[in-house]
Structure 1
Amino acid sequence: MSVWEALAVLLAGIGAGGINAVVGSGTLFTFPVLLAFGYPPVTASISNSIGLAPGTLTGTIGYRRELRGQGRRLLRLAAMSCLGALTGGVLLLNLPSEVFESVVPVLIGLACVLIIVQPRLSRRLRERRRRAPGRGPLLPLGVYAAGTYGGYFAAAQGIVLISVLGTALDEDMQRINALKNALAAVVNGTAAVFYITFGSPSWPVAALIAAGSTIGGYTGARLGRKLKPFALRGLIVAVGLTAAVQLVLDRF
């Protein structure tokens, strides 16, 4: 890895950490960079999961005030996130790499769609909570499914979690976002331990993303909030679609 490539990975990690704290789609920054530098998709995903884990933790610390009073809820849902992350990790390491390479462009495309429709989705979730507030009996199952997705491929995991939590919980959006960050930290932390034990990451890449995401998770959120929502979503979608196209072209 050249110095310029290392710098690009580090900067991508900083951006991913900050965006994960605010929106939840940082993988769409780091994953395409790794693909562009020639890393196989599965190796890129494993290294990325390990590297982003510290960033989700510092992002959670940044939202600690909004987590007050949610301790019991967090513990209950964290168990489902942990189980989901393990399920996703087992799927990634045991399914043929061709399956991952075929599925990931679709997952990235769906993630981009989620990012585009997020404002409308958030409005509908707020209206639904006002009409029918409640805990939602399917919430643990939804959190488990989001954890499985995050353990397998983490792009837009945060947006999936916000949609699940926002549908079921009658809470302020900032408190939901704080809970999302904490559950994403559980998923990424569990997946990181799993991949360190059973996977074959690129350690230089994982270390660079970890350093960057640690900085970005705590301080990058402020930088992300200075971007207008339209510009931020446009940048993420452009990067994500580039990665999806690159994956499709590599198969031919």
Structure 2
Amino acid sequence: MTVAEWFLLFAAGIGGGLAGSIAGLASVSTYPALLLIGLPPVTANVTNTVALVFNGVGSVSGSLPELRDQRDLLRRFVPIGVAGGAAGAALLLTIPAEGFENAVPILLASSALVIALPHRKDAEPAPPTTARTVLIGAALFGICVYGGFFGAAAGVLMLALFLRVGARTLADANATKNVVLGVANLVAAVIFIVLSPVAWTAVVPMALGCLLGARLGPVVVRRAPAGPMRLVIAAAALALAIKLGFDTYR
């Protein structure tokens, strides 16, 4: 790896750490950087998942003030994150590499659209019922499976879900998302380390950048709107999806 590539991955890690801890967009920054240095899509995705473990460490440590009153909530949601992350990793390792490569442009384009779509922050949560609890658990499990499988925009989906189900503030929803998605990503990363090749030379600079960026992200989300940044990242993700789609299907 060249010095330029090392600093590219470090910078992508900082950007991904910030974007991930603010709006759940880490992979939209980090995954393309791994493709740019020449990693094949599956290896890039596996390496990205391992590096983003440090995104979870940084974002959770930065979210501690919002997490003080969330113990009961996390007891319900964290086991779902564990199961979903494991299922997503198993899915990635069982499909052919060509199948994943063909799906990447579609996944990125879908992520870009999810990122760009606005979501309401002022909706009143519905009263709790058994059916609603099951529905929330199923939705969260599906998001965690997607997070373990690919990850780009999984945090956006999770953030939107927690805002819908009664988080008091955006910062509270973001803190919950940081823990649950971090756990799902950690489980997937452990499975990948054991069963799949990881480009460790790429993990190191990206992980350092993620740790730094993610530690600062929750501080930013308390003070600054994430809307304009989401639109910029969505546009970049869509442009990359178009390019990868052209390269894949031509």
> What is the TM-score normalised by the length of structure 1?
0.90
Unaligned runs of 5+ in 1: none
Q: Which segment drifts farther, 235-244 or 216-225?
A: 216-225
Is it true that 1:155 corresponds to 2:152 in the alignment? yes
Q: What root-mean-square deviation, in Å, do the aligned CA atoms of Structure 1 and Structure 2 show?
A: 1.9
With over 3 angstroms needed to count, the CA separation of the structure-2 counterparts of 1:76 and 1:150, relative to structure 1, is same
Aligned to 1:204: 201
Structure 2 residue identity aligned to 1:181: N
User: What secondary structure does 1:112 align onto?
Assistant: helix
Aligned to 1:122: 120
Aligned to 1:246: 243
Q: Which segment drifts farther, 216-225 or 205-214?
A: 216-225
- Per-residue deviation at 1:231? 3.5
Structure 2 residue identity aligned to 1:142: A
Rounded to whole Å, the distance in 2 between the matches of 1:140 and 1:173 is: 20
Check whether the contact 2:171–2:222 (CA below 8 A) recurs between aligned residues.
Answer: no
- 1:177-222: per-residue Cα shift (whole Å, max 9, x none)? 1101111110111111111111111111112211110111102455
Check whether the contact 2:18–2:217 (CA below 8 A) recurs between aligned residues.
Answer: yes
Unaligned runs of 5+ in 2: none
Aligned to 2:23: 23
User: What secondary structure does 1:200 align onto?
Assistant: coil
Q: Which runs of 4+ in 1 moved over 4 A?
A: 220-228
Q: Which segment drifts farther, 221-230 or 106-115?
A: 221-230
Structure 1 residue identity aligned to 2:193: I
Aligned to 1:79: 79
Q: How does 1:81-96 map to 2 (within 5 A)?
A: 81-96=81-96
Structure 1 residue identity aligned to 2:237: G
Check whether the contact 1:139–1:165 (CA below 8 A) recurs between aligned residues.
Answer: no
> What is the TM-score normalised by the length of structure 2?
0.91
* % identity of equivalent residues: 30
Is it true that 1:178 corresponds to 2:159 in the alignment? no
Rounded to whole Å, the distance in 2 between the matches of 1:191 and 1:39 is: 19
Rounded to whole Å, the distance in 2 between the matches of 1:227 and 1:9 is: 25
Rounded to whole Å, the distance in 2 between the matches of 1:238 and 1:226 is: 24
Paired residue total: 246
